[in-house]
Chain A
Amino acid sequence: DAGVTQSPTHLIKTRGQQVTLRCSPISGHKSVSWYQQVLGQGPQFIFQYYEKEERGRGNFPDRFSARQFPNYSSELNVNALLLGDSALYLCASSLGLDRPNEQFFGPGTRLTVL
C-alpha cells in the first residue's frame, strides 16, 4: 500500500506570495493533520481534519488555512508568506479519532521563503 504522499517536494517563494501544499492520505484513513517543523525542533501542530471538518487548530495565524476533500486528500494554504514560514511542512494521516489513532507521516514539503 502507498503511504502518505505530499507535493511538491520542494518549493521556493518570495515574501508576500501565497503557497498551496497538497497531501494524499493512506487509503482508508479519514483524518489528516498538518504540522510545521523548523530545523532542530519537533513538529508543531497546525490543523487536523476528519471527515472533511476541521477538528483541531494550533497556534498559527489566520494566514494559514486548510481543507479536506471528499476523497480525504487535503490542501494547506499559506498567504502573505513571511521569512519565518520557511520550514518542512508535514502531513500525517490516521484512521480516525479513536484507537488506533497513531499518525503516519508523509515525506514533507520543504518551503523556502526568500
Chain B
Amino acid sequence: EDQVTQSPEALRLQEGESSSLNCSYTVSGLRGLFWYRQDPGKGPEFLFTLYSAGEEKEKERLKATLTKKESFLHITAPKPEDSATYLCAARNSGGYQKVTFGTGTKLQVIP
C-alpha cells in the first residue's frame, strides 16, 4: 500500500532561521510528488510538482528536491507569512492514479 510520511509534525522557527521539511514516500511507480501549502480552514494551495530523482524546483524562499525515497522542502530565511501546514502527496502509476497525502508539517515562523 502506498505510504507518505512527513516529519516533523510541527516546526517552530525564528524569522530568518532556515530549515527543511521531510517527506518519505513508498509508492508503486511514482508519477508525481507534490507539495502544497494549506492555511487553516482553506483548501491546499499548489506549490511544486517533482517527477524524477534529482529534480529541483524553487519559488521565492521555498525549494523542493526529490530522491528515490524522499523529498525535502527547504525554507530559506522564512517570514511569518510562511506559517502554514505544508502537505506532501504522491501519485502512483496504477490503473487508478491514486494520490496519497501525508499528514503535513505545521510550520510556525515567529517574528
Contacts and interface: CB of A to CB of B under 8 A. Distances in A.
A102 B32 contact: yes
Interface string A79-114: 000000000101000000101111111111010000
Contact of A99 (B34, B51, B96, B100): B51
Interface of A: 4, 33, 35, 40-45, 48, 55-58, 88, 90, 97, 99-108, 110
B35 to A, nearest CB: 10
A55 B43 contact: no
A88 to B, nearest CB: 8
Contact of A45 (B31, B42, B51, B98): B98
Contact of A56 (B42, B89, B97, B104): B97
A99 B97 CA distance: 12
B32 A101 contact: yes
A40 B102 CA distance: 11
A104 B99 CA distance: 13
B45 A105 contact: yes
Given A42-B102, A48-B96, A55-B97, A108 B43 contact: yes
Contact of B96 (A4, A55, A101, A102): A55
B49 A105 contact: no
A105 B43 contact: yes
Contacts, number: 63
Contacts of A43: 44, 87, 89, 101
Nearest to B45: A105
B49 A100 contact: yes
B75 to A, nearest CB: 19
Nearest to A98: B31
B66 to A, nearest CB: 14
Closest 5 CB pairs of A and B: A42-B101, A56-B96, A105-B43, A102-B49, A105-B44
Contacts of A42: 4, 87, 89, 101-104
B45 A48 contact: no
A106 B43 contact: yes
